[in-house]
Structures are given as C-alpha cells and as structure tokens.
C-alpha cells in the first residue's frame, strides 16, 4: 500500500511516498481503508523524534483517520466490514490502510463526511474532556481561549458557546480574530508575537482583564503556552480553572503565588491518557459530540486539504503555526 513515510529523523521535507505491507487485523483490531486523515501537532513532533513514543522506521505519521472498515479481527464486536468509522491510530493514518484498536474507533453518523470525521476526535475530544472532566464548565461561565483560531481553539470556542458560556479568544492577528469571531467568540484579544518583555506582559494581562470584565475568567483554556500563559493567569477569577492543553509557543513558567492569590486550580488536560483510562466516559463524550454536530452547534473548520503526496506540506503548515482550523489529507 502507498504511504507517506518517515525514513529518518527530520522535518516534513524529509517525508517521502513509499510502500508498506498491507496491515492485518490482529486480535481486538480493525483495518480501515483510509479516506481522510487530519494533521495534528503530534505529527509535527513524531517525525522529529520529539513525541512521547517513537515508532520504528519506516512509519507513516497521522494519528486521526476516517474511512471504511475493511477487516475485523478476533474478538471485535460492534463493527462490520463496510462500516464508516473514525479512529485514533497514534500513527499510520497517512497511508491507504491502517490497523487500529477497536476501542479507539467510533462509527460515524450518517450525516458526517470523512473530512469532518477525521477532524473531530483530537480537537473536540480534547475540548469536551477539558471542559467537562477538568473545568466543570457551566452556563454563564466566562471563558478565555488562547490560540482561538487553530483547530483545537475553534473547538474550544464552539463547545463553550454550546454550554452557555461567554467566550473571549486570544489570537495573534486580526485575520485570526475574524476566524475566532466566526466560530462564536464574543470578544477577541489580539496579542503580539513573543518574546514579551515585562512591560509587554503587563500590558497583555491588562488587555485580558479588560476583556474579562467583572471578576475575571472562570476558565482559561491555554493551547499556546510560552509567554502568554502568565498574563492570562493574571486575569483568572477567584477559584477559576486554568486548563493546560498545549504549548507550541513553549512550556510556560507560572508564578505559583498567583494561584494562591486567586485560590485557582492549574489543571493538566491529557485527553489521550483519559481516553485510555476511562474509555466508557470518553465514549459518552464522543456520543455527545455527535449530537452537537447533528444539531449544528459544532462544525470542524477545515482550512486546507492536501493529497497524500503533499502530506508533508500539510504538516509544515501546522509546524509553522500558519494553520487556521484543521488541515486534512485526503486519499
């Protein structure tokens, strides 16, 4: 089968089209004929050997795929050949076929296309877990989403609005501000590019506080990290939740005295581990997402589509932080 292969450690420019053996459905697995695979930040890291696990080479990146079940392994129930599914595969999605654990696969609703399906799990799955299990979101909450124009940021805006929250998006440009508004953000703060000196950090904190109004943000959803986390934390409400989701701008250093002064919580959001530890709760979350999709309250924003032989360009777009919404490779 054709696949986009990582043959050696390096960037997207080192990926090449090649051949891998067709996968076989092992015990507890299904084989999917891939129709679409979205690009996520782990794909940027895994080809550089910077991710938490390192598959043996040659391998295809791509951890989130949608397609049609082609084979069902021993012990698998609930799936049949021909089913339309979405799945988390860790890697291997940028190939014509991939074998995945049945516990990591979900039947797609009839009204969902493959591109939307491939764009749902990692972003919206992370956000619904962050809000429900970590942030305890409720109607009327005041929410700040950093990185509000990326795929995960848009999912965070849409879900917060679906739960009845007021949402402020933090973005790095006016063009991205418009995208965040289209996703439903009530207000937007445009922040400068880092590094931020002391005065710039103080000014950004003031901007966040002004956008929050009143007593500050009940939930801060941080997908960015770097120099942006501390100014955001300074705008949190009493007993607020600061959700650590990602850090493409770098791992932040937070003054812990701020957590004492606001009696707030800094909460890590590791959706993959949550899904593995509590698959029943994760499946309930995904079922809820399907309902929100059917009702039109959430819709993945796909900003770029690439063919398999251009998959390296898709990963480069994310690596350069130029993607707005989701980037999808179609097969």
Q: Hey, how many other C-beta atoms are within 10 angstroms of the C-beta on 98?
A: 29
Same-domain status, 130 and 219: yes
Give residue-wise pLDDT tens across range 247-257. 888 999 999 99
Give residue-wise pLDDT tens across range 30-48. 999 999 999 998 899 999 9
Q: Is residue 286 part of a domain?
A: no
The pLDDT-based confidence of 163 (bands split at 50, 70, 90) is very high
Count Cα atoms within 13 angstroms, Cβ side, for 12.
Answer: 20
Same-domain status, 140 and 253: yes
Average pLDDT over residues 105-127: 95
Give the three-class secondary structure for 83.
Answer: coil
Same-domain status, 98 and 172: no
Average pLDDT over residues 276-297: 94
Instruction: Quote the tokens at residue 199.
Output: 């005065």
Cβ–Cβ under 8 Å, residues 282 and 125? yes
Q: What integer pLDDT is reported at residue 13 of this predicted model?
A: 94
Average pLDDT over residues 90-113: 95
Average pLDDT over residues 16-20: 96
Q: What integer pLDDT is reported at residue 119 of this predicted model?
A: 95
Instruction: Quote the tokens at residue 55.
Output: 């598959």
The pLDDT-based confidence of 101 (bands split at 50, 70, 90) is very high
Q: Is residue 112 part of a domain?
A: yes
- CATH of residue 171's domain is 3.40.50.720
111-144 burial string, b = 16+ CB within 10 Å, else e? ebebbbbbbbbbbbbbbbbbbbbbbebeeebbbb
Q: What percent of the chain has pLDDT over 70?
A: 100
Average pLDDT over residues 167-185: 96
The pLDDT-based confidence of 320 (bands split at 50, 70, 90) is confident
Average pLDDT over residues 309-316: 96
DSSP string for 92-109: --SBSEEEEEGGGEEEPP
Q: What integer pLDDT is reported at residue 318 of this predicted model?
A: 87
Give residue-wise pLDDT tens across range 223-244. 999 999 999 999 999 999 999 9
Same-domain status, 12 and 90: yes
Same-domain status, 268 and 140: yes
Count Cα atoms within 13 angstroms, Cβ side, for 1.
Answer: 22
Same-domain status, 85 and 172: no
Same-domain status, 254 and 320: no
Q: What integer pLDDT is reported at residue 166 of this predicted model?
A: 98
Same-domain status, 322 and 235: no
Average pLDDT over residues 165-194: 96
Give yes or no for residue 210 having a pLDDT over 90: yes
Q: What integer pLDDT is reported at residue 95 of this predicted model?
A: 98
Distance between CA atoms of 222 and 247, rounded to whole angstroms? Answer: 8
Give yes or no for residue 325 having a pLDDT over 90: no
Q: What integer pLDDT is reported at residue 48 of this predicted model?
A: 96
Give yes or no for residue 321 having a pLDDT over 80: no
Average pLDDT over residues 92-121: 95
Boundaries of domain holding 149: 123-272
Name the pTM for this structure: 0.90
Query: 249 Cβ partners below 8 Å, 6+ apart?
Result: 194, 224, 225, 226, 227, 228
Q: What integer pLDDT is reported at residue 247 of this predicted model?
A: 87
3-state SS track over 34-74: EEEEEECHHHHHHCCCCCCCCCCCCECCCCEEEEEEEEECC
Residue with tokens 């739960």: 163
- The structural domain count of the chain equals 2
- CATH of residue 6's domain is 3.90.180.10
Q: What integer pLDDT is reported at residue 303 of this predicted model?
A: 86
Same-domain status, 59 and 147: no
Give residue-wise pLDDT tens across range 69-86. 999 999 999 999 999 999
Average pLDDT over residues 304-323: 92
Q: Hey, how many other C-beta atoms are within 10 angstroms of the C-beta on 52?
A: 8
Query: 312 Cβ partners below 8 Å, 6+ apart?
Result: 4, 12, 13, 14, 15
Average pLDDT over residues 262-283: 93
Give yes or no for residue 52 having a pLDDT over 80: no
Q: What integer pLDDT is reported at residue 192 of this predicted model?
A: 93
């Amino acid at each position: 089968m054709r696949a986009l292969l990582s043959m050696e450690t390096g960037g997207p420019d080192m990926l090449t089209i090649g051949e891998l053996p067709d996968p076989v459905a092992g015990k507890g697995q299904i084989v999917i004929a891939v129709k679409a695979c979205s690009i996520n930040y782990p794909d940027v890291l895994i080809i550089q050997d910077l991710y938490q696990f390192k598959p043996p080479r040659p391998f295809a990146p791509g951890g989130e795929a949608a397609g049609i079940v082609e084979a069902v392994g021993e012990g698998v129930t609930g799936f049949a050949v021909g089913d339309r599914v979405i799945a988390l595969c860790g890697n291997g999605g940028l190939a014509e076929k991939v074998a995945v654990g049945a516990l990591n696969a979900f039947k797609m609703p009839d009204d969902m296309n493959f591109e939307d399906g491939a764009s749902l799990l990692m972003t919206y799955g992370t956000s619904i877990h962050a809000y429900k299990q970590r942030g305890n979101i409720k109607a009327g909450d005041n929410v700040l989403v950093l990185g509000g124009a990326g795929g995960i940021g848009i999912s965070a805006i849409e879900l917060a609005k679906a739960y009845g929250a007021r949402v402020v998006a933090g973005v790095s440009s006016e063009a991205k501000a418009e995208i965040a508004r289209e996703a439903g953000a009530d207000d937007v703060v445009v922040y400068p590019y880092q590094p931020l000196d002391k005065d710039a950090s103080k000014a950004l904190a003031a901007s966040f506080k002004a956008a929050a109004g009143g007593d500050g943000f009940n939930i801060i959803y941080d997908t960015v990290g770097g120099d942006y986390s501390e100014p955001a934390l300074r705008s949190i409400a009493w007993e607020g939740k600061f959700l650590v989701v990602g850090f493409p701008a770098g791992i932040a250093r937070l003054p812990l005295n701020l957590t004492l002064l606001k009696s707030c919580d800094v909460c890590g959001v590791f959706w993959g581990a949550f899904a593995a530890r509590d698959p029943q709760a994760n499946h309930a979350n995904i079922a809820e997402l399907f309902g929100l999709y059917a009702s039109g309250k959430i819709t993945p924003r796909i900003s770029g589509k690439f063919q398999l032989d251009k998959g390296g360009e898709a990963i480069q777009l994310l690596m350069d932080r130029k993607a707005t919404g989701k980037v999808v490779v179609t097969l």
